[in-house]
Amino acid sequence: MITAVHPPSAPPAPRPLEFHGRLAGALAPFVLFLAGVGWLALSGAPDERGFWPILLAALTLGLALARDRTRYSEVVIEAMGQPIVMLMIMAWLLAGVIGAVLNASGFVQALVWLAREAQLTGALYVGAAFLACVVISTSTGTSFGTIMLAGPLLYPAGGSVGAHPAVLMGAILAGATFGDSISPVSDTTIASAGSQATDIPGTVRSRLKYVIPAGLLALLASVALAAARAGDVPLGVVEGVGVAAGTGDASPRGLPMLVVPLVVIALLVARRHLLAGLLAGIALAVALGMALGLLAPSDVLSIDRAAFGAKGVIIDGMSRGIGASVFTILLMGLVGALQASRAVSGALRWARTNTMSPRRAELWIVGAVSAAVLLTTHSVVAVLTVGAFAREVGGRAGVSPYRRANLLDMTVCTYPFLLPYFLPTILASSASQSGVPFGMPRVTPLQAGVMNTYAWALVVAVAVAIATGYGRGEGKGVPDGDARGEAE
């Protein structure tokens, strides 16, 4: 007797989360979160560890409002354990190690020497820092990586050449934002083009008309702000860099360590995994520093018997990323609960009936992705959340795939780089901590975001594009669903 073999049935779709109060209940934890971090930011914004209690309170509120608390708990844990979350955490920890090793090897003093030799002081140094971060972020496609690699190196050296702390960190953040908005290997570029089923090369080319003017405006604005606030640089900052921190002994001895970030950047450009690039950078930094006599074995790792522990630059570097890592884990749990609910999809379904003209469709696209990124605090998650909505609404109104992808990408490259409760501004603040031993003050997330001239320029670019129709005819010959294009 022959027994029929039936293919295994597909696993049932996960049950959506239901909240008391429906949409209001699903959004209530985020209202609490936004209110809490906003209060902290306006009160002086402690480091990212200050956000931990707020996130725990928001998660607790979500649990109280969930109809199925076991399901809520499962969703939160699943979201916290996503591979992308673990990748981000490893990146912060390892990038912190690279920064700590380079600082210990005298690389900051070498940058001070180089800036002085090139006569890059004050506003000129700020402009050079912006351009350096533009090159790094465009090459690698990662704003996080640029902030973590360039921030701890460029920021400490700025005090000795008279750069205003907040303006300098804002310029570093602005340069990192630029690459995130235009690089063909940026996660937001890939997500925005993919969500609209169009090719990446054509999308990037069509975006140049927006980002090039915005980048030039940002460069001029950063230099002008640095020049205007040159008199606001505290005397203690400039003197502290030379006296307290020793960068007055600027020397080119640590300049060969420049090869470390260059190698990491080259590996990322070559599409090596971020983890592989950072681990290679750590190994190279330690080996090169010891070979040049810039680091002693005890600097790398030593036993502190009095404190019953170990110490060294590797431990110090990883410690820098702990605050942001815990913040990310808690935040992604909160985001996961919202994604598992019907709240976002229901709101978007309602909006589909309210679109007619191309301009109105564009306003809905920008409004929807703005709401998504403000609630989820994650650019890629926001793009993917409303991608299908943008494709349907924009397609029916005759908005081309390139135009839709550009509006999505440019919008999500504004809020996260301006507001103090998003990871880019928090990372920028964390990176500025590396300047404290060199006499530079720590910059708050709010200060870094306010001084991000490129993100503000993108806000203007999106508003002008929708109001005037500038660029609306782009990609008219590209049909919806043609994701092949030049990518083949």
pLDDT per residue rounded down to tens, the chain (488 residues)? 444 444 444 455 567 788 988 888 988 998 898 888 778 766 765 566 788 899 999 999 999 999 989 999 999 999 888 776 787 678 778 877 887 888 788 876 777 677 777 888 889 999 999 988 888 788 767 788 788 778 888 898 887 788 899 999 999 999 999 988 988 768 788 888 888 888 888 888 899 999 999 999 999 999 999 998 876 665 444 444 443 344 445 678 888 888 887 887 777 767 677 788 889 988 998 999 899 888 888 888 888 777 777 888 888 888 877 877 888 788 888 888 887 886 655 655 666 666 568 898 999 999 989 988 887 777 877 887 788 788 888 888 889 999 999 999 999 999 999 988 788 898 898 889 888 887 889 898 889 999 999 999 999 999 999 999 998 877 665 656 543 333 32
**Residue 408's pLDDT is what?**
95
Contacts of 486 (CB under 8 A, 6+ apart): 199, 201, 202
**Residue 73's pLDDT is what?**
93
Quick one: CA dihedral 108, 114, 117, 118, positive or negative?
A: negative
Give the angle subtended at the CA of 213 by the CAs of 211 and 215, to the nearest 5°.
Answer: 65
DSSP, residue by residue, 408-468:
HHHHHTTGGGTSTTSHHHHHHHHHHGGGGGGTPPPPPHHHHHHT-HHHHHHHHHHHHHHHH
pTM over 0.75: no
Task: Give 403-444 pLDDT, tens digit per residue.
Answer: 999 999 999 999 999 988 788 898 898 889 888 887 889 898
Task: Give 60-71 pLDDT, tens digit per residue.
Answer: 999 999 998 999
